[in-house]
Structure 1
Amino acid sequence: MKQSVTFPNAGLTMAANLYLPENFDDTQTYSGIVVVHPGGGVKEQTAAIYAERLANNGFVAVAFDASCQGDSEGNTRGLEDPYARVEDIRTAVDYLTTLSYVDNNKIGALGICAGGGYVVNAAQTERRIKAVATVSAVDLGAMYRGEASIEEQLQVLEAVGQQRTAESNGAEVQFANWAPNSEGELTEETPVLLKEAYDYYRTPRAQHPNSDNKLPFAASLARIYSFSASAQLSDYLTQPLLLVIGKEADTRGYSDRFFELSNRPKELVEVEGGTHISMYDIPEHVDQAEAKIIPFFNENL
């Protein structure tokens, strides 16, 4: 059972879908899970798939659109602000605590792609999150910094500053794309992840009108560059941690890093044949992720 709901976030109204178990009884109590979508995604895509799987296994799950994205409010449309997205998670936890049928001591978080990095970061200081699971986790700050030299990174930040000045003086907002917009942009040199992202986000496979493949360059990039999902992980992340990755994923290094830094109960699970984005919606790969995620939350919530 799915319900459209809203919840407040510092003056904004957040749009979400609440997934309830079959034979739901509001006089009973359930574990609650916050489900966090990838960068560039919306609640109706892979977050919906995992939230529904959780509800089918007896959990109350909420999948929401990030602030400034999808159906959620926020004036800088498309803004990808990692710090705001972590705060979004906190307000989603706030929302679950207002539901009489959710046990406040049994709240977990599941994040996909950049959402995985965000839940890892949020749980370091959000102690109401009792267990953390990720699928194809990415530390978005580390991804954007990549292997570029500090000099090259500073050049990007110089360009960000120049664009902010231009926009403050009336220039049009400059947008960057999350993924190639058309098949014609793909070449042999295009990284596998971007080819996968095009196939997922820009074709009928998962294309959604609220996922427009744009982020405002000047408003987003400085925030992304300064973000680290794992800055205090070794000290602050004491909750159980489950990291699910496709064995063939070219982003597995982020999950490896989270696993290495964690000093508490942790498990890293490889899905045979899985890639970064096949874990979003390919049934046999989602099935294998579900087979680990459900027992993990049952055991730790």
Structure 2
Amino acid sequence: MESVRIQNKDMAWHIAANILLPRHFDESKKYPAIVSIHPFGSCKEQTSGSVYGKALAEQGFVVIAYDASFQGESGGSPRWIEDPTQRVEDVSRVIDYAVTLPYVDESLIGVLGVCGGGGYALNATLTEKRIKAVVSITGVNVGRLFREGFSNYDPLGALDAMAAQRTREARGGELQVNELLPATPDVAKANGLTERDVFEATDYYKTPRGQQEGGATRMLFSHAQKTLAWDAFAFAETLLTQPVMVVIGQKVGAFGAFRDGIEIYGRATASKDRQLVSLEEWSHYDLYDKPEPVALALEKLVPFLKKHLALGAERQAIAAE
């Protein structure tokens, strides 16, 4: 693994990334590349890099797992902004960097995203035609989630509160940084926060299971207005032409990955190859790192990516050694 700072000429700040390389990597050769996108509130050292990124590198891909702008080790100020437009632009900027690497085949670039990262991956693929295939792992349409559960189904009230807070901050007031999860699973239980996705997110992000310094699970409240007017799937029927695989768990939670996965699969009618992988007995956060559901997901997505990113039989055999 190589850690890099991506600083393209049009960027005011850097993007921190880890490049995961295949076994028997030979820098004189060309490899297909995967851009791996972390969830909302996460970082590159969690599921996008340490689970799916690692597995895909072992299968012969160059994988770039990166921190979103304003988050993790990436630059940008103020911190902990979750801006879907910026998140999608980050994908293109990472691809801009990937195509400068002499060992990346610029015609064979795919993206994979987990949770909110899945929604961003799909949205980026609508207009970023350097992407040749996309995989969404328990992907969430963050815009819908903000309009619904994250705003207590009062998006206009949330927008009014954000506007008032941004005015306070513009006048010198303290930033309002919202912690998205309970401090521990025990705190979640004590406060009745046992809904499946909320509790399982806490178990992942707030325990040694998945906890990482960069995975702050925080959001700057005053800068989240545009999220409520964003839709990951807008124009999918027309613009989502590349091959797409949607992986979901059938144990439904409040963050809506099951519903969102069914929706985008149904709407991706222009895709050259659309596939839905619906896993029984597994939940949203099971697909982050639990060996059995992750293995089931990889069993489907690895051949899908190898097919569409032309990872030939010879290179597959080398990667498997």
TM bucket, shorter chain: over 0.9
Q: 1:102 to 1:148 in 2, by over 3 A?
A: closer
Please report the TM-score for the alignment, with normalisation by the length of structure 2.
0.90
The answer to whether structure 1 residue 281 and structure 2 residue 286 are counterparts is no
The answer to whether structure 1 residue 3 and structure 2 residue 2 are counterparts is yes
Write the deviation string for residues 262-281 of structure 1: whole angstroms up to 9, x where unpaired: 01220110123210011000
> Which of 257, 261, 267 is the matching residue for 1:255?
261
State the match for 2:233 in structure 1. 230
Take 2:192 and 2:218, find their aligned partners in 1: how far apart are those partners? Answer: 23
1:47 maps to a residue whose letter is S
Take 2:86 and 2:99, find their aligned partners in 1: how far apart are those partners? Answer: 20
CA drift of 1:98 comes to 0.7
State the match for 2:200 in structure 1. 196
| 193-202 or 151-160, which deviates more | 151-160
Residues 200 and 206 of structure 1 are in contact (CA less than 8 Å); yes or no, is this contact kept in structure 2?
A: yes
Write the deviation string for residues 76-104 of structure 1: whole angstroms up to 9, x where unpaired: 11111111000000011111101111111
The answer to whether structure 1 residue 241 and structure 2 residue 244 are counterparts is yes
2:167 maps to a residue whose letter is T
1:8 maps to a residue whose letter is Q
Residue 106 of structure 1: SS of its match in structure 2?
Answer: strand
> Which of 98, 101, 109 is the matching residue for 2:100?
98
State the match for 1:12 in structure 2. 13
The answer to whether structure 1 residue 47 and structure 2 residue 51 are counterparts is no
Take 1:230 and 1:255, find their aligned partners in 2: how far apart are those partners? Answer: 10
State the match for 2:182 in structure 1. 180
CA drift of 1:188 comes to 4.0
Take 1:233 and 1:261, find their aligned partners in 2: how far apart are those partners? Answer: 6
> Which of 84, 87, 90 is the matching residue for 1:82?
84
Take 1:106 and 1:148, find their aligned partners in 2: how far apart are those partners? Answer: 37
Take 2:159 and 2:119, find their aligned partners in 1: how far apart are those partners? Answer: 22
Residue 12 of structure 1: SS of its match in structure 2?
Answer: coil
Q: 1:32 to 1:157 in 2, by over 3 A?
A: same
Take 2:227 and 2:195, find their aligned partners in 1: how far apart are those partners? Answer: 20
CA drift of 1:141 comes to 0.5
Write the deviation string for residues 30-78 of structure 1: whole angstroms up to 9, x where unpaired: 1100000000000000011111100100000000000110000011111
Q: 1:284 to 1:123 in 2, by over 3 A?
A: same
* Over 6 Å off, 4+ runs: 147-151
Take 1:147 and 1:66, find their aligned partners in 2: how far apart are those partners? Answer: 23
The answer to whether structure 1 residue 116 and structure 2 residue 118 are counterparts is yes
Residues 139 and 260 of structure 2 are in contact (CA less than 8 Å); yes or no, is this contact kept in structure 1?
A: yes
> Which blocks of at least 5 consecutive residues in structure 2 are unaligned?
310-321
Residue 298 of structure 1: SS of its match in structure 2?
Answer: helix
State the match for 1:166 in structure 2. 168
Take 1:193 and 1:151, find their aligned partners in 2: how far apart are those partners? Answer: 17
Residue 238 of structure 1: SS of its match in structure 2?
Answer: coil
CA drift of 1:167 comes to 0.9
CA drift of 1:247 comes to 2.0
Write the deviation string for residues 238-273 of structure 1: whole angstroms up to 9, x where unpaired: 001000111214220011111111012201101232
Take 1:181 and 1:149, find their aligned partners in 2: how far apart are those partners? Answer: 20
Residues 181 and 213 of structure 1 are in contact (CA less than 8 Å); yes or no, is this contact kept in structure 2?
A: no
2:229 maps to a residue whose letter is S
CA drift of 1:153 comes to 1.4
1:118 maps to a residue whose letter is Y
Take 1:185 and 1:223, find their aligned partners in 2: how far apart are those partners? Answer: 29
Percent identical among aligned pairs is: 39
Please report the TM-score for the alignment, with normalisation by the length of structure 1.
0.95
> Which blocks of at least 5 consecutive residues in structure 1 are unaligned?
none
2:81 maps to a residue whose letter is L
Residues 244 and 270 of structure 1 are in contact (CA less than 8 Å); yes or no, is this contact kept in structure 2?
A: yes
State the match for 1:129 in structure 2. 131
State the match for 2:315 in structure 1. none
State the match for 2:314 in structure 1. none
2:2 maps to a residue whose letter is Q
Q: 1:147 to 1:107 in 2, by over 3 A?
A: same
State the match for 1:38 in structure 2. 39
Residues 36 and 53 of structure 2 are in contact (CA less than 8 Å); yes or no, is this contact kept in structure 1?
A: yes
CA drift of 1:147 comes to 6.6
1:22 maps to a residue whose letter is R
